[in-house]
A and B are shown apart, each in its own frame.
Chain A
Amino acid sequence: MMRGHLGSEDMCRWMAGERGAEEERHVRECSLCGAEVARMEGALQRFGGAVRAWSAAQPGAQSAGAWRMDHTSMVRPLRWGLAAAALVVLAVIPTWKSARDRRMAEEAARADDILMEQVDAQVSRTVPVTLEPLVNPVEWKAEAGQDLPGKEKGEER
């Protein structure tokens, strides 16, 4: 049984669709509550109308252009992506290959140079390595840290 006017929560319950027969009758008969319900309904209607009008004016509100009807077009970007990736791979392979060849050629040249230097060193010797100490015994002694007896004495004096 309803007593008095609709409160704020009753009003919201009414707007949310919870309407008993008693409330229906009261709103119909009570000008105050009827006006309050109408005011609230009006505000929400204006809100809905304004949002609908505003949304319709936004870019993207029309399906034309926004939606691609041809579903194959959804696959197209993927295909383009794969094609681009393949092209990149094809373009990179020769560059990578030539860089690798160049690096290998440089390493081979460096190894050749080292080998040639070693060969030159061997070829430029006047005597075999084992006979080198006999060629200049004095130098050899000096190099070996052996002092000359005559010289030592002379210096001591």
Chain B
Amino acid sequence: MAATMELPCVGIQDFDEVVRLYWGRVFRFALASLRDGDAAQTLAQDCFLRAYRGRAWFRGESSVHTWLMRIAVNLVRDAARNRASRFWMLARASSVDLGDAGNRLADCGVSPEAMASLKEEVRAVWKSADRLPAKQKTVFLLRFVEDMSILEIAAATGMKEGTVKAHLFRALVTVRERLGKSV
């Protein structure tokens, strides 16, 4: 697994820069969690608005990225709990195509057959991740999409390190089972 992504050090004073640097990550996590483009954009907007209003309370105990992800995790949790929004997520036309992520694989010089197999594999992970319980899904996405370390995930979710590992383990067992032993 690749090492945790290097994030540039940025203070909270320059909020425009914070938005520029982290918007994509917050939006991506929201999109992967909610699977709805409009909802993800609204959530990202809300996340940065809350961060902007609460910037006076940011003490720098965690990184800006972790702080923002913590807000995003809470917003995603609230959105998932909201039955109405869940209904809309199912019904809305802006819901993203689950299979689309599989088409974004970088061409790594393999045969068309092998590429088709890899795409299918990505689609299968994408689908099985969507069916995970909320906490497992959050931890799984933060680990394998956001490339956050276990400690960063613990800080972002407010869970203990052991709890994060337990959720991640259960998520991996499910994903692996659904993929079959081929992965």
Instruction: Please tell me which one of the listed residues A8, A17, A53, A58 contacts residue B106 in the complex, with CB atoms under 8 A apart.
Output: A53
**Contact string against B for A residues 36-51, beta-carbon threshold 8 Å, 1 for contact and 0 otherwise:** 0001110111111111
Return chain B residues, CB-CB under 8 Å to A74.
49
B104 within 8 A of partner (CB):
yes
Return chain A residues, CB-CB under 8 Å to B168.
15-17
Is the CB–CB distance between A55 and B28 below 8 Å? yes
Is the CB–CB distance between B1 and A44 below 8 Å? yes
Instruction: Please tell me which one of the listed residues B19, B121, B145, B176 contacts residue A48 in the complex, with CB atoms under 8 A apart.
Output: B145
CA–CA, A46 to B121, complex, Å? 9
Is the CB–CB distance between A55 and B31 below 8 Å? yes
Contacts A16-B172, A43-B179, A60-B41 supplied; 11 other A-B pairs, CB < 8 Å? A8-B181, A9-B173, A16-B166, A45-B2, A50-B101, A52-B28, A58-B31, A66-B27, A67-B19, A67-B44, A71-B52
A131 within 8 A of partner (CB):
no
Instruction: Please tell me which one of the listed residues A12, A13, A51, A63 contacts residue B20 in the complex, with CB atoms under 8 A apart.
Output: A63
Is the CB–CB distance between A12 and B173 below 8 Å? yes
Partner-A contacts on B (CB < 8 A): 1-2, 15-16, 19-20, 23-24, 27-28, 31-32, 37-38, 40-41, 44-45, 48-49, 52, 96, 100-106, 118, 121-122, 125-126, 129, 144-145, 147, 150, 165-166, 168-169, 172-173, 176-177, 179, 181, 183
Which residues A48-102 have CB closer than 8 A to chain B?
Answer: 48-63, 66-67, 69, 71, 74
Closest 8 A/B residue pairs (Cβ) = A63-B23, A60-B41, A12-B172, A55-B28, A53-B104, A16-B169, A54-B104, A16-B168
Partner-B contacts on A (CB < 8 A): 8-9, 11-13, 15-18, 39-41, 43-63, 66-67, 69, 71, 74
Instruction: Please tell me which one of the listed residues B19, B176, B179 contacts residue A63 in the complex, with CB atoms under 8 A apart.
Output: B19
Is the CB–CB distance between B100 and A54 below 8 Å? yes
Given A12-B173, A61-B27, A66-B41, also A46-B16 (CB < 8 A): no
Is the CB–CB distance between A60 and B37 below 8 Å? yes
Is the CB–CB distance between B104 and A67 below 8 Å? no
Return chain B residues, CB-CB under 8 Å to A44.
1, 125, 144
- Sample of 10 A–B contacts (CB below 8 Å): A16-B166, A40-B183, A43-B121, A44-B125, A47-B144, A51-B145, A53-B106, A54-B100, A54-B104, A67-B23
Query: In whole Å, how far is A20's beta carbon from the nearest beta carbon of chain B?
Result: 13
Instruction: Please tell me which one of the listed residues B15, B16, B41, B105 contacts residue A50 in the complex, with CB atoms under 8 A apart.
Output: B105
Instruction: Please tell me which one of the listed residues A15, A47, A63, A71 contacts residue B125 in the complex, with CB atoms under 8 A apart.
Output: A47
Is the CB–CB distance between A51 and B23 below 8 Å? no
Given A11-B176, A46-B122, A49-B105, also A67-B37 (CB < 8 A): no
Return chain A residues, CB-CB under 8 Å to B23.
61-63, 66-67
Return chain A residues, CB-CB under 8 Å to B32.
51, 55
CA–CA, A59 to B38, complex, Å? 9
